[in-house]
Structure 1
């Protein structure tokens, strides 16, 4: 599929954030979500979490950063429905890391 325009992709990410499971919503208080075209070091990366998981915080650390990468997500999808699903999976995956949830637990919860 073609690369979705940035404004449309941004709205899709906002929609995914709006649909997060209730357990993850409090984490958003200290998370900045950014959209980039690609990760410069790993161009095929779909998303990246950087920060201190909320389960390990001891003070007023700077906000965590979740980056969502537009071009690789678009490149892996066949259509807009597929892209919506992949964006949701990527957003929930990275926000779950901010909540201190590892990949194994993500799978147990059915979020990956």
Structure 2
């Protein structure tokens, strides 16, 4: 594990994720369906550079038979995020970008399109 330039408690990091979600337009949040947000220290596979992960079935891929499934999960990884940031302000910005990225995946928007839109 690399060093973490910014020391931040899990509680404070979770607050920042909550604040990032508060910045997402309510119209967008209201269209999200069957999704939970989680904070973990690191991905289970040990990846040090993964800041966030969307797991589930994008809205664009859900068919008539989509029912009775576990919620999609959006996980934001605390230690990886802290490793790429120098200040708490950097963490706030990075968390906001990561949250938007993972929400976009829920809506079926891929990384290439996100880069075209200036989110990458």
Give the TM-score of the pair, scaled to structure 2. Answer: 0.84
Task: Give the match for residue 72 of structure 1.
Answer: 80
Instruction: Identify the structure with the greater helix proportion.
Output: 1
Q: Secondary structure at the match of 2:112?
A: helix
The two structures, once aligned, show a CA RMSD in angstroms of: 1.6
Unaligned runs of 5+ in 2: none
- Structure 1 ranges of 4+ moved more than 4 A: none
Mark the CA change 1:86 to 1:72 in structure 2 (over 3 Å): closer, same or farther: same
Task: Give the match for residue 24 of structure 1.
Answer: 28
Give the TM-score of the pair, scaled to structure 1. Answer: 0.89
Task: Give the match for residue 114 of structure 2.
Answer: 106
Number of residues of Structure 1 aligned to a counterpart in Structure 2: 112
Task: Give the match for residue 55 of structure 1.
Answer: 60
Unaligned runs of 5+ in 1: none
Mark the CA change 1:27 to 1:51 in structure 2 (over 3 Å): closer, same or farther: farther
